[in-house]
């Protein structure tokens, strides 16, 4: 087989239309590779190919068979490209035919990125059962809320049944305790039937510590670079072609066979690739080829801590071509504006001054000096449209990385929570919610794992404690291995029927409806936005224009009322929403119609008026 032929095949076990199994494994370290399968311990030899690949075609292997690989007689090892590990990371792999499902989403169209309203969700804690099937039962709630995209935290197989997902060791697999690959396909199909896109969080910068066997097969890792999680994945060192093939084919599999609409790629700043074509660029190019063949749009979204527009610029402009990125700095500025502590990386942010800059410029640090980093940081994001930036008032990281995992609902007042939500929705960026945020869920989202290796579990406990020792925080970090830490992090769905949670839910529904109804919001136009910051008053005045529509928003982060004025030149302004109104649990009703005369906005509130520009 030629190099091109090998690179076109997905690793692992696939089945053709005739039911024949095709096996491809990369194991350049081995002199002999054998497939061990079935209850009677059948063994078949794989044929050695060039570039370290081994292949086999057989009718002896069927969907549902358990199998593994022998490397020079040692093993069996799970398949590096296994789709299903029904007995966990240390057990055998199980073959799965991805083409078996009968999809009913033929007419599904992925929404434009600017129209996304994203809901980040963790499978294990979003329902009591913690499965894909249980998540399906909550989809109608999300439809009523108005979100049109769910972003599922990583589902690749990890040790045990409790984990955030970032300790996955088999990128092609789907966690057994969540229901496995068939259940994920069923969930995606159900989402599409309800008009919701599905984004899958994938980790291409490291693998977890327990059950990681890729290094036994080939040179998947390199000592050239190091990450916070150990040796970096080998994207540009010797033998890296096959590693790149492994991850490119992984991205294509989720889109092609699981009908995933977008991938959120975790911490891409930890991907080390100094080759002529960055791995992200290669993935984008291959995804574009797939879209041309299928007619379906797929998105690549990155999390990064670099403020580097190269990641989101088009390939023909010298970028990597990612469709969007998370903007942590908007969150950091928003959090400090709300009066929360300024420790660690939050120390760089100056409340409403930083937030006003992020509203206008996306990045707060765009080539200016960062005292936390002790150097200039970032670059300007001029020319990058608003739909390429995703913002939030909280997400899994900024909740779960706190020692006690407190959500915003435990850190600020009810009024401030409404203001934070409004700040996200009034921005010219794509909004993201973290599960339960819409009803002010009080339960924490804490860091939890279920490593079966006792030494590793103890190391995680000690590491979690020492991580917060430097902050001199009172109390003790919850035991990440304890079942109670996981159980305490589950959503309380019954709260949505009770005040004030019901009120908050209605408030979020209103904002999402406005976001969908008004072209000014939907267009994510950064050029039509200005932000006036009154630092002493802790007040920001946002003005946005789209076509003939004009919007003014007053964001009062202080604990005092402030007098403001609507711009002159209009006969009347119409109130879109005011968080201080009694309907949203507030104590100050703002006038439905207002002229250019002064208004008084309540403490910790957002008030938004709109009008049509006079010709």
| Residues involved in catalysis | 266, 303
DSSP 415: H
The answer to whether the CB of 40 falls within 8 A of the CB of 60 is no
Could you list the beta-strand ranges (E) of 228-330: 230-233, 262-265, 299-302, 324-326
The SS3 of residue 215 is helix
The DSSP call for residue 144 is: H
Q: How many CB atoms lie within 10 A of CB 369?
A: 11
CB 145 within 8 A of CB 177: no
For residues 145 and 165, what is the distance between their CA atoms, to the nearest angstrom?
Answer: 26
- Quick check: 610 and 550 in contact, CB under 8 A? yes
Distance CA 256, CA 244 (A): 18
257: Cβ contacts below 8 Å, ≥ 6 apart: 98, 99, 185
Cα distance between residue 184 and residue 133, in whole Å: 8
The structure tokens listed for 287 are 């995804």
Element (H, E) at 21: strand 21-26
DSSP 107-118: T--PPPGGG--E
Are 37 and 82 spatial neighbours (Cβ–Cβ below 8 Å)? no
- Contact between 251 and 286 (Cβ < 8 Å): yes
117 pairs with which residues across the strands?
none
Q: Encoding tokens for residue 526?
A: 């950064």
């Amino acid at each position: 087989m030629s190099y091109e032929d090998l690179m076109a095949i997905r690793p692992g076990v696939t089945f053709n239309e005739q039911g024949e199994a095709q096996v491809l494994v990369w194991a350049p370290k081995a002199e002999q590779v054998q497939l061990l399968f079935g209850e009677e311990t059948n063994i078949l030899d794989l044929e050695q190919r060039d570039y370290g690949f081994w292949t086999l075609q057989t009718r002896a292997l069927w969907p549902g068979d358990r199998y593994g690989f022998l490397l020079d007689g040692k093993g069996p090892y799970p398949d590096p490209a296994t789709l299903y590990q029904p007995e966990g990371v240390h057990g055998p792999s199980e073959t799965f035919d991805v083409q078996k499902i009968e999809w009913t989403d033929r007419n599904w169209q992925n929404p434009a990125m600017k129209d996304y309203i994203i809901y980040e969700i963790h499978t294990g804690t979003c329902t009591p059962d913690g499965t894909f099937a249980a998540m399906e039962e909550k989809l109608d709630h999300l439809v009523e809320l108005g979100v049109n995209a769910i972003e599922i935290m990583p589902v690749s197989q990890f040790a045990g049944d409790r984990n955030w997902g970032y300790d996955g060791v088999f990128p092609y697999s789907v966690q057994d305790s969540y229901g496995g690959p068939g259940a994920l396909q069923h969930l995606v199909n159900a989402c599409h039937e309800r008009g919701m896109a599905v984004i899958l969080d994938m980790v291409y910068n490291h693998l977890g510590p327990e059950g990681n066997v890729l290094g036994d097969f080939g040179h998947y890792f390199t000592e050239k670079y190091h990450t916070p999680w150990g040796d970096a994945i080998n994207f540009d060192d010797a033998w890296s072609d096959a590693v790149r093939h492994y991850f490119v084919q992984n991205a294509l599999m989720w889109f092609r066979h699981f009908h995933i609409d977008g991938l959120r790629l975790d911490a891409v700043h930890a991907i080390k690739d100094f080759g002529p074509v960055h791995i992200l660029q290669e993935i984008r190019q291959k995804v574009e080829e797939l879209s041309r063949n299928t007619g379906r749009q797929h998105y690549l979204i990155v999390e990064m801590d670099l403020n580097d527009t190269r990641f989101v610029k088009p390939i023909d402009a010298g970028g990597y071509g990612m469709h969007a990125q998370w903007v942590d700095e908007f969150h950091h500025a928003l959090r400090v504006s709300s009066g929360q502590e300024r420790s660690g990386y939050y120390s760089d942010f100056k409340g409403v001054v930083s937030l006003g800059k992020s509203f206008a410029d996306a990045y707060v640090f765009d080539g200016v000096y960062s005292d936390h980093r002790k150097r200039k940081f970032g670059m300007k994001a001029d020319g990058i449209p608003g739909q390429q930036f995703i913002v939030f008032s909280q997400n899994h990281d900024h909740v779960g990385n706190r020692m006690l995992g407190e959500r915003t609902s435990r850190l600020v007042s009810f009024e401030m929570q409404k203001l934070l939500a409004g700040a996200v929705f009034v921005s010219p960026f794509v909004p993201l919610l973290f599960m339960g945020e819409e009803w002010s869920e009080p339960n924490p989202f804490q860091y939890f794992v279920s490593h079966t290796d006792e030494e590793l579990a103890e190391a995680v406990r000690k590491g979690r404690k020492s991580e917060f020792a430097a902050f001199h925080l009172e109390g003790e970090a919850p035991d990440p291995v304890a079942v109670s830490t996981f159980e305490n992090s589950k959503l309380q769905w019954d709260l949505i029927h009770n005040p004030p949670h019901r009120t908050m839910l209605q408030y979020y529904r209103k904002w999402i409806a406005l976001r969908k109804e008004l072209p000014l919001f939907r267009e994510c136009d950064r050029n039509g936005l200005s932000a006036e910051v009154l630092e002493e008053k802790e007040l920001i005045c946002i003005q946005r224009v789209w076509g003939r529509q004009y919007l003014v928003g007053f964001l009062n982060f202080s604990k005092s009322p402030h007098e403001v004025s609507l711009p002159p030149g209009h006969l009347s302004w119409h109130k879109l929403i005011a968080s201080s109104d009694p309907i949203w649990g507030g104590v100050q009703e703002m006038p439905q119609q207002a002229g250019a005369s002064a208004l008084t906005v309540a403490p910790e509130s957002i008030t938004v008026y709109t009008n049509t520009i006079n010709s």
